[in-house]
A and B are shown apart, each in its own frame.
Chain A
Amino acid sequence: SQQGEEDPQALSIQEGENATMNCSYKTSINNLQWYRQNSGRGLVHLILIRSNEREKHSGRLRVTLDTSKKSSSLLITASRAADTASYFCATAIYNFNKFYFGSGTKLNVKP
């Protein structure tokens, strides 16, 4: 892959548990974004974190960014069955106005 790679590829948890997904990338970035994709549909933006930020929150979502390790994590707290989807990280490469997506983490939240 040119850039982001998510880990794990698949994650299955019970409703109410927390879900953590990781993203690693290779080159310097301007920002990193997380997206969600329900099966067969378009992607929906969840959260953006800039290269000078270390942590960001949005509702039940918490994103961290470690530029020294070139990695990010997405934490979904108190998961719900409706959170079942694929989650992708997208990196905006420094000085280039295009985004690279990883292969995604497929999250299954069992009711």
Chain B
Amino acid sequence: GAGVSQSPSNKVTEKGKDVELRCDPISGHTALYWYRQSLGQGLEFLIYFQGNSAPDKSGLPSDRFSAERTGGSVSTLTIQRTQQEDSAVYLCASSPTGTSGGPPGELFFGEGSRLTVL
């Protein structure tokens, strides 16, 4: 597809269950980001992938959160033993590599995965 694709668009789960959220970035984009947005709030940085480099995991809120990116393309965000405070919209964005070693430019966002933990 032409844009960033995220699935599922909505996920309702019970407390304590594990969930996986998927992001399919724009083809050729080397940078991939995960953000979390709680209701009516701003975006909280979670993790950043750039090419084959080690990911920047500094925003992951706890060790229940993990993410991987296979083959430099599709990414999966996994939340283990979900808690009610994990309820939020999880947004994925991709970006082409920045020039001259600088930061990537425009971020292209998916529509998000809305997670509700009962």
Contact = CB atoms under 8 A, between A and B. Distances in A.
B107 A90 contact: yes
Contact of A45 (B42, B107, B112): B107
A41 B42 contact: no
Contact of B91 (A33, A42, A92): A42
B111 A98 contact: no
Interface in B30-72: 31, 33, 35, 41-43, 45, 48, 50, 56, 59
A40 B88 CA distance: 11
A30 B103 contact: yes
The number of chain B residues touching the other chain, given as a range, is: 20 to 34
Contact of A31 (B89, B91, B103, B111): B103
Interface in A81-111: 88, 90, 92-93, 96-104
Given A88-B42, A98-B33, A45 B98 contact: no
B112 A42 contact: yes
A43 interface: yes
Contacts of A78: none
Interface string B88-105: 010101000010001111
Which are the 5 A-B pairs with shortest beta-carbon distances? A103-B42, A42-B109, A101-B43, A92-B103, A43-B109
Interface of B: 4, 31, 33, 35, 41-43, 45, 48, 50, 56, 59, 89, 91, 93, 98, 102-112, 114
22 contacts: A30-B102, A30-B103, A35-B107, A35-B109, A42-B91, A42-B109, A42-B111, A42-B112, A43-B93, A43-B107, A44-B109, A45-B106, A48-B106, A90-B107, A97-B98, A97-B103, A98-B33, A98-B48, A98-B56, A99-B33, A99-B107, A104-B42
Interface of A: 1-2, 30-31, 33, 35, 40-45, 48, 88, 90, 92-93, 96-104
